[in-house]
Chain A
Amino acid sequence: MSSIHLPSGRRDIGDYLGRLHWPMIAALSLIAGVGVLTLYSVAGGAWSPWALKHAIRFGAALSLMVAMAFVPIRFWMALAYPTYFGALIALALVPFIGATNMGAQRWLEYGAFQFQPSEAMKIGLVMGLARYYYGLRAEQVSHPVFLAPPVAMILAPVGLVFIQPDLGTSLLLAATGFSIVLLAGVSWRITFLGGLAALIGAYGAYRFEILKPYQLERIFTFLDPDRDPLGQGYHLLQSKTGIGSGGLTGKGFMEGTQAQLKFLPEMQTDFIFTVFGEEFGFVGAVSLLGLYLTVILMGVFVAVRARSHFARLVSMGVVVTFALYVLINTGMVMGLAPVVGVPLPLVSYGGTVMLTIMGGFGLVLSAHASRDQDASGIIV
């Protein structure tokens, strides 16, 4: 094997391959495999239009992730603020030059190339906040002066995404951001006050009709699914019917009647868990959940083991985002959370989200590979 000298640590590629988090790569690949399988079924047993593209995209994203893992975490730290602010500027530009799609402006277009700044912000926010707390001592974390910047860093993108409007992503960003603040060690008292402020803000949003009618409708439908049996609630009922009728072992691959007979909405994206649950049953669905939890816990271990505070917080940030995706999506299709349009990571069809997730895990893998280095790159 040819020996490549990498700038940091001066080891050859064999060493680096050894430092890759293989179990995590395997788990992620398994999840993506479930995605390919289910998309094949959703298409009525065909590679097109989704399954093949999903597999190809995963292959590309996987390469990106591994490539990112080869880059030491301190380089990523150097890129943290530029990433955050770049994404923020792009987000701010969306209302002016963004493309409108289905009533919401979320995309920036340049020729055939499409770019969704809110997705980039999911990584950007995690990196930015981690970078910020890297520079803070433990006793400073709860000090109001040091609390203000991260709050601003969170609220700015949350607000911009909210006005696109994209309630789901803005809530996701807010939750991720405040999770990082919490993990950085902010006191419970401040957490409590923050939570109270969020509740008041939510009430204000409702009171002053900041939410769009369809957003309110989704929340109300979640609270009382019987209020419109053929609208949102109908989809939810069909989704629950799909999952419930799957039973213990499911109806079998490509045998899901709810899915194959098109009773489910958005089967290839938001409601793909329903398809999987119907065809593979309780056993399959719980196994998939277990797979997700495995990835999450592995991520937590990577974070806890990291020597760099940036690496810790970035890894946890990615893991939190990932966990929120899984919990909100599965909760949504089973009537535990409002239908807000959050995909199931690596299983739902969609390139941007996959890129976000795999990019995030690229950082986690990098943190894992660099676990013995502190931020200056010195191996301890």
Chain B
Amino acid sequence: MRGGGDQERKELFTRRAALFSGGVTLLFGGVAARLYHLQIANHEAFNELAIENQFNSRVLTPLRGEIVDRFGVSLASNRQNFRVLLVPEETSDPEEALQKIANYVELPPSRRQRILREIRRTSGVNPVQVIDNLDWDEFAKISFARPELPGALPEVGETRNYPFGPATAFVIGYVGAVTDRDLQAEDDEGERVLLRQPGFKVGRDGLERTYERELRGVAGEMQVKVNAHGQVLDEYRDDAVQPEQGRPLALTIDAELQAAAMKELEGESASAVVLDIETGDVLVLASTPAFDPNLFNTGIPSSLWRELNESPYKPLLNKPLGGIYPPGSTFKMVSAIAAQRSGIRPDHSVRCLGRMYYGNRYFHCWKRGGHGVVDMKNSLKKSCDVYYYDIAQQLDIDLLADTAERLGLGQSYNLGIPGERGGTVPSREWKRAFYAGSPENQRWYPGETLSVVIGQGAATSTPLQLAVMAARIASGKQVRPRMVRMVGETISPQPNFADVEIDPAYFDVARAGMDAVTNEIGGTAYRSRLDNPDWRLAGKTGTSQVYRITAEERAKGLTKPEQLPWEKRDHALFVCFAPFENPRYACSVVVEHGIGGSRAAGPKAREIMRAVLKKDPASLPPIGPSALAAAGPAGRRGRG
């Protein structure tokens, strides 16, 4: 193939090769033009995309505000929490990732399922908390093994710590994980982002819940550099907006006395309230049995939750506020004052024969044999029921109800703790409203007044109301209890209570009667007296009927309340104030099914009051705003 034959095809080839060169050059030009389009013409837009890719803003969770007692003793603080998060983006199989983590920490299958559900619920966008409250050894082990654990992120977070545990559970409440409902209820998108942070907690009960806004704080923000897998490569701490810790709360509670009261009530289903009569400060708000809110932080084990819910001692009920009991004989001061308002003089005397016939039946005194002749003061001292049956016949129920309300019963005080109940002060109006659906039952019968006048029938009160009643009787002022002294630097003003709108002279016999109950031989709570003359305690017992022993049972020999099952025994109540001459503290104690006020409630109230009077917290300076601002070891710093 040499010579002329080759010449022709060489020329053809050369032409085509030239054409090819031209074509390829043109195509390269096209590629270069595309480069120009991307790198020069649209550089800005793509550069922005690249920057958006690299930087993420990360929420800096604020520390929750501390809660302290009246002297600055910590009741709720934050402590370091070694925990493990799972970053769903960093693992292709979260289930397998959890399996691997379970080799290092205990992770039962049910908990794993819950985490997987959580990941699905949030579409795997956010890290999810796998486990927290690890000890240092566990945390170190899992941090060390991290290269083998895709998606696992060991981290130091903060968790709520309640140094007094069960003792303040009903005051402080507790925090819990954010639910879908919390998210729906939140209008602010920024707050929602904060709520979605892994392991973020909100107040679930108590002051933690009521003061959620104040305690939560303000989220900060930090730019972080991330790679395509969302791994944080760099943090820009210097330009970060620091989170602001939530505002601290200073309470009126005295943690020391609170703990002492809880100890006094231990083993009973009971409550105790102590008030500072002058300021209305709630010094003690005790309820037993209680739960440990520290256990609630991490999610309540279902077995514990069931146990708490099913216990007859109702450990989840905040009894001082949410427990309502017939006030029983503690109501008799109200009746005595109401009697004077309707014109019955304190020297009005009644012969008690142990029972009184009224309407078509007998009304019994608690003392079968009767008290003989008693006047108003002695009716309190001996807690004679017949005396009150007698005056009830001249007493209008609405005047009695009005007196009860002026003395603090039937009202809510809004301490900031959810679950406060109002109780019932029976009156004509109350009965009409109660039987709104059946007009034939709306009429008030005089016989009903005979029950109410001794604190039975429809009358119910909370222990808090009873303490307020004692405080109002002691001082003649409209004492209103309060629980929160300071929110942040805002201190609530010193209250100046107005006089109760009842002739002050009517209180004298009530006070004298209460004094006689504890300090005179023959008083129903003589054994609950305090011997120190400076601490002279005036009180009143109460026993409220839970179950009426039937004639049939009595015939079978059932006469003693101890023979009844626990839940049918009477409640034991005691209200008191001290010192008698210059009242400063008022107290109420209710022991559920404690049988008798004088033996179950009185001595406990005496011991609580002994501790209160010994310490005399009202004489000590409470924590001031500047000390509160510095409260807590963490100060006002946030978690970064």
Contacts and interface: CB of A to CB of B under 8 A. Distances in A.
A106 interface: no
A107 B68 CA distance: 74
A300 B16 contact: no
Nearest to A329: B31
A257 B54 contact: yes
A246 B35 CA distance: 10
A308 B321 CA distance: 107
A88 interface: no
Contacts of A374: 2, 6
Interface string B32-43: 101110111011
B21 A282 contact: no
A138 B47 contact: no
B27 A327 contact: yes
Contacts of B12: 138, 185
A241 interface: yes
A138 B40 contact: no
A367 interface: no
A263 B17 contact: no
Contact of A241 (B17, B32, B46, B225): B46
Interface stretch (B227-235, B312-320, B401-409, B503-511): B227-235
B20 A261 contact: no
B17 A138 contact: no
Interface in B388-410: none
Interface in B1-20: 1-2, 5-6, 8-10, 12-14, 16-18, 20
B47 A141 contact: no
Contacts of B2: 374, 376
B53 interface: yes
A316 B35 contact: no
Contact of A244 (B17, B27, B32, B46): B46
Given A240-B38, A293-B28, A327-B27, A261 B5 contact: no
B233 A336 contact: no
A360 interface: no
Interface in A281-296: 281-282, 285-286, 289, 292-293, 296
A161 to B, nearest CB: 24
Interface in A132-151: 134-139, 141
Nearest to A258: B50
B618 interface: no
Contact of A334 (B20, B35, B50): B35
Given A179-B20, A241-B49, A257-B53, A248 B40 contact: yes
| Chain A: interface size category | 35 or more
B1 A375 contact: yes
Interface string B110-125: 0000000000000000
B47 to A, nearest CB: 4
Contact of A134 (B1, B40, B42, B45): B1
A97 interface: no
Contact of B31 (A135, A257, A327): A327
B17 A303 contact: yes
A286 B33 CA distance: 10
A247 B9 contact: no
Nearest to A245: B50
Contact of B13 (A247, A309, A334): A309
Which of A277, A312, A375 has the most chain B CB atoms inside 10 A of its CB?
A312
B177 interface: no
Interface string A300-314: 100110000100110
B47 A247 contact: yes
A135 B40 contact: no
A243 interface: yes
Nearest to A185: B12
B178 interface: no
Given A293-B24, A300-B20, A185 B1 contact: no
Contacts of A241: 46, 49-50, 53
B490 interface: no
Given A241-B46, A244-B39, A245-B47, A183 B13 contact: yes
B35 A293 contact: no
A297 interface: yes
B228 A245 contact: no
Given A185-B9, A244-B39, A330 B17 contact: no
B92 to A, nearest CB: 14
Given A185-B9, A261-B53, A334-B35, A316 B24 contact: no
A246 B38 CA distance: 9
Contacts of B35: 243, 277, 282, 285-286, 289, 334
The DSSP consensus for interface residues of chain B is helix
Contacts of A261: 53-54, 225-228, 233
A92 interface: no
B47 A244 contact: yes
Contacts of B53: 238, 241, 257-258, 261, 263
Contacts of A227: none
Contacts, number: 149
A230 to B, nearest CB: 12
Contact of A331 (B31, B45, B229): B31
Contacts of A293: 24-25, 28
Nearest to A282: B39
Nearest to B2: A374
Interface string B60-97: 00000000000000000000000000000000000000
A292 B13 CA distance: 22
B8 A138 contact: yes
Given A258-B53, A261-B54, A300-B17, A244 B45 contact: yes
A330 B32 CA distance: 10
Contacts of A277: 35, 39
A304 B14 contact: yes
Interface in A361-380: 374-376
A303 B20 CA distance: 12
B1 to A, nearest CB: 7
A293 B27 CA distance: 10
Interface in B580-602: none
A320 interface: yes
B54 A316 contact: no
Given A241-B46, A245-B46, A245-B47, A182 B16 contact: yes
Nearest to A136: B9
Interface in B188-244: 225-229, 233
Contacts of B225: 261
A323 interface: yes
A312 B42 CA distance: 42
Interface in A101-158: 134-139, 141
A354 B585 CA distance: 94
Contacts of B25: 293, 297
Contact of B50 (A242, A262, A331): A242
Contacts of B28: 289, 292-293, 326-327
B46 A243 contact: yes
B13 A185 contact: yes
Contacts of B46: 240-241, 243-245
Contacts of B233: 261
Interface string B455-468: 00000000000000
Contacts of B17: 183, 300, 303-304, 312, 316
A3 B47 CA distance: 60
Interface of B: 1-2, 5-6, 8-10, 12-14, 16-18, 20-21, 24-25, 27-28, 30-32, 34-36, 38-40, 42-43, 45-47, 49-51, 53-54, 225-229, 233
5 contacts: A243-B39, A245-B46, A245-B51, A262-B227, A282-B39
Interface of A: 134-139, 141, 179, 182-185, 237-238, 240-248, 257-258, 261-263, 277, 281-282, 285-286, 289, 292-293, 296-297, 300, 303-304, 309, 312-313, 316, 320, 323, 326-327, 330-331, 334, 336, 374-376
Q: Which 8 pairs across A and B sit closest by C-beta, in order of nearness?
A: A244-B46, A245-B50, A138-B9, A185-B12, A261-B227, A244-B38, A282-B39, A138-B8
